[in-house]
Amino acid sequence: DSLAAALAVLGEHAAEGWQPLAGGTDIMVSVNAGHETGSRWIDLSRFRGELAAIELENGMIRIGGLATMTALRRSPLCRGTGG
C-alpha cells in the first residue's frame, strides 16, 4: 500500500505491458478510439498527494508528475515567495 510497492509491481510486470494510471482520461480516449488494447494498468491515484507535491528539496524545487499548472501558478515556491 505504498508508492514504492506500486512502482515495484510495475517494474516486475513491465514486460507484460503494465502501465501506471492516475486519472485515465487520456487512456479512455485511446481505448474508445481502438488504440489501447491488452494493456494492464495499476492505479496510482491514491498516491496523488505524493505525486503532485511541489517541495523544496536540497535547495531545488521538486515538482511531482501529477502537479497541475494551477498548483504551480499558486505555489509560493514557484512564484519565488516561499522556501
User: d(Cα 36, Cα 52) in Å, to the nearest integer?
Assistant: 25
The enclosing H or E element of 60 equals: strand 60-63
9 pLDDT above the threshold of 80: yes
CA pair distance 29, 15, nearest whole angstrom: 24
* Cell numbers found for residue 7: 512502482
Strand partners, 42: 20
Is the confidence at residue 14, as pLDDT, over 90?
A: no
d(CA 63, CA 70): 13
pTM of the model: 0.68
Give the whole-angstrom CA distance, residue 37 versus residue 16: 13
Does 17 or 62 have the greater pLDDT score? Answer: 62
Model pLDDT for residues 41-79, shown as the tens digit of each residue: 888 989 999 999 999 999 999 999 899 999 999 999 998
